[in-house]
Every structure is written in C-alpha cells, then in structure tokens.
Amino acid sequence: MATVLAGVEPQEVWKQFEQLAAIPRPSGKEAAAREHIMELAKSLGLETHVDGFGNLVVRKPAYPGRESAPVTALQGHLDMVCEKNEGTEFNFDTDGIRLLRQDGWLHADGTTLGSDNGVGVSAALAVMASKTIQHGPMEFVFTVEEETTLGGASAFKAGVLKAHYLLNLDNEEKGTLCIGCAGGLNTRARRKVAFVEAKGNAAYRVKVGGLKGGHSGVDIHLGRGNAVRILGGTLQLINEAIAVQLADLKGGSAHNAIPREASAILVTDAANEVKLKQAVAAYEADIRGDLGSFDPGVKISVEMVTRPVQVLAHDDARATVDLIASLHHGVLAMSPDVPGLVQDSTNVATVSLKDGLVEVVTSQRSAIEGSRNLAKRLVATSCRLAGFETEFAAGYPGWKPEPDSDIVRNCVKVFEKVFGKEPKIIAMHAGLETGVLGVNYPSMQMISFGPQIEFPHSPGERIEIDSVADFWKYLVAVLETL
C-alpha cells in the first residue's frame, strides 16, 4: 500500500519517520517508541542501554578502517508535543499521527506533526541502520520527557557516554548551526478562591481562539497573540460594561507553548446579552488592530451555556482577571552580543481553575542565569500584588557558545563544501538538551542542526520536505569527517 511519503527522498529517513509517527509518544509515555528502537538495534546486532529514567543509548562500531576516530553521539528526544485543533477527533495515547503532504511540506491532519524531534530521531535511526556511511564509533542517545521538563536529559548520568562530539538533531532552521541556547524555569502562581451562589439567570462562554500559538522560546519575538492575556483583557472590558460573575476559566495547554485558546464562563442576566456581545466585539476589534498581520486570525466568540450554580467570589474573580490581563508576555531584552537574538523573555502559558484553586503558569528564559532570576522576580512580584502565592520549578541551564571549538570549525568547513556557502551561526532562545547534558559532560563538544520545521508545538507544525534531503546529506558528510 502506497504511503504519503512513498518515493520521497531520502527514503532511509522517511521510512523511519513514518514508522515513528505511527507510534503514540506523548511526554512520559515513550515506552513504545523506545521498544521500537530497541527492536531495530537488536535486529542490527547493536548494544543497547536503558537507564532508570527511560533514556536509551545504542552503540554502533565504526565503519571498517575508521576505528580510531573519536566517538560521536547523535542525540534527539523521543517525545512530542500533543496539540490538536478544537473539533479534531484524536487520542494522542492511542492514535498514530495522520500525515498529509502538500506543496512541498509535510504536516498532520489537525494535530501536531511530531517532526520535533521525530525527524532528528529518524535520521539517527537511518544512520544506525546504514551499512555504507563511513563514520567512526557511534553512540545514539534517545532521551525522554524533553517537551515537558527536560527530565530525561536532567536524569542522564555522567560516565555513560564516551563520545567526544555530540550532534544534537533538534534544530529547526535550515542553513544554521546552533552553538548555544537559553536556560529557563517555570513560575507557578496559585490563589485559593471562594465560591458564592450565582445570581444571574443566564450563562455565557467567552472564548479566545484563532491564534497561531507557537514555541514560547523561538517564536516569542514574533508578536503573536497570547490567548490567556487576551482573555483577561476581554473580561476586564466586559466588567466595565455590565455586571457579570466569573464561574470558570481555562487557557493554554503547555508551559513551553504560547497559548492559542482560552475561555471563561460568565453568569449575568439574559437582558445583558447584547451589551456583552458588544463589549466582546469592541475588544476583538482592538486586539485585531494591535496584532495586525502578526496574528490576523484572532477571534473572540460568545455562546450561551448551561448556567452554573456557583461562581467565584467578587474579590477572587477580580484579582484573577487583573493578573492574567497584566502579566508581561514576550521579550524582556535583546542580546547585546548576538544581533537579533532574544536574551530574556517571559511567557504566560496556562491558567486553570480546579478544586477551588486558580493556577497561572508562566515560563522565563535567558542564557544568563542572573537575567533569568530577574525575570522570575518580576513575574512573582506581579503575582504577589494580586494575592497569589508563587513557587519556582527547578530550572535548567543554558549552553554557552564555543564558536572556536573543533566541532564548530569542522561543521562550518563541511557546510561550505556541501552547500557552497557559509552557514548561519546561531544561539537559540529555547531550552535544548545540550545545555543539560553538558553539565555532566563538560569536555564534550556539541553542536545542533536540522531541517526546516515551522510552527512547532501547534497543529500548524510542518516540515519542508526538500530540507530533509539537505539535512541528511549534510549529516552524512559531517559524520564521515569526524
């Protein structure tokens, strides 16, 4: 039976990707993907090692004649972000990704594609299976829970790897070599709230949607709308127009994604419906003007729903709305050393109400630890003024650029030979596992590269098919020179 990628080159990579895409692999549930790789390794007669956290290492001997070359590791993560469009019937725990190919791009049917980091993992598997690539001794490192906590990389022990070089295959911009990344942390703000009897005779759901979303690191400078903050502003304007009570609210889905959707349930009198919709329409117009072409699809809707019995007490509702409307989201500072690089940022990621507790999760990023600490204190102060208690999740370190290292010089030279031009050397405003792994392997030289992936962490995620061929050609050339 023909597949979506039948006949598309490089077949050795795309065949691996199609098999991987058929395996559910949310963060924390990567066991089936790990078993798939271990079966492949077993069929090839290769040594495998699984640590107590679920990370997998496969070792492959050198191509004949290259036994004396330094050990090189290829590294990627098994898990994927699980996002889907509203109305899409899909279970990430049981269903394989439905692949679609259009106009030179591969994407999924209403869900995230998993090219982050599925294509990198698939390229590593293709190297593992190859009998013709003239590489030195190889280690293949497949980590888990990268998308949620970087837990796999954080739990990776010193002394397991022998590699002198590590090639991380989790970069998403063709033509670039990444040599550094930001560290980050999460700030959780919580407020215990009281409930009172609802007084209005009708209830409405106010929903913010139609936004692009995206990665809270690499996309933070693109001016995209934040659904949680927009919801807060909408609720503020509604409160100025009519008397409403807040019964519920939710928004966002992951700490490392710019929220695309958020909603609240309000109780009021049915006689206020016209004014309610007028206030929402007015705010939508303001937001459309503010976002412009950065995020033109924004939509704020109103629909009648079943009236709840209880609502939040006035002071709790007011404090919650004011907080999500006013928390800073976006770039805090640009790098003074690397043109165009975001140095510090913060993302308002999620808001939820459960068991009498409102929780707001934000994330702060910076390659500089002191700057990251300043950002978290900025957020915590705003939360404290709104009556929320805050706690900070354990952060993860950045990866200091080493532009003069052997691996960087070699990879630049190979790039120029393969493509006839210089690569763009970048540092990334996102957490890469290289920074975390490097803590226990300080002498290991690292670099990251990959094909062109757009809109990761959202159902719009797509990968440029031709860029995978270039990525593969370059990876092979690098391995044969190390």
Catalytic residue IDs: 79, 146
45 burial (CB, 10 Å; 0-12 / 13-18 / 19+) is exposed
Would you call 213 helix, strand, or coil by DSSP?
coil
State the DSSP H helix or E strand holding residue 31, giving kind and residue range, or none if neither: helix 31-43
Which DSSP letter does residue 175 get? T
What are the φ and ψ backbone dihedral angles of 317, each rounded to 5 degrees? -65, -45
Would you call 74 helix, strand, or coil by DSSP?
strand
Amino acid (one-letter) located at 172 = E
289 burial (CB, 10 Å; 0-12 / 13-18 / 19+) is exposed
127 closest CA partner among 33, 66, 58, 80: 58
125 closest CA partner among 21, 6, 57, 40: 40
426: tokens are 């970048």
Would you call 257 helix, strand, or coil by DSSP?
strand
User: Which whole-number Å values give the CA distances from 127 to 79, 89, 98, 123, 164, in the listed order?
Assistant: 20, 35, 25, 6, 18
State the DSSP H helix or E strand holding residue 365, giving kind and residue range, or none if neither: strand 357-366
337: tokens are 């050393």
394: tokens are 């354990």
Cβ atoms of 275 and 242 closer than 8 Å: yes
Burial track 85-119 (b if 16+ CB lie within 10 A, e otherwise): eeeeebebeeebbbbeeeeebbbbebbbbbbbbbb
Q: Where are the beta strands (DSSP E) in 152-277?
A: 165-168, 176-181, 183-192, 195-197, 202-209, 245-251, 262-268
Rounded CA separation 107/9 (Å): 17
Rounded CA separation 426/173 (Å): 10
Which DSSP letter does residue 144 get? S
State the pairing for strand pair 165-168/445-448. Answer: parallel
Rounded CA separation 33/298 (Å): 36
Amino acid (one-letter) located at 135 = H
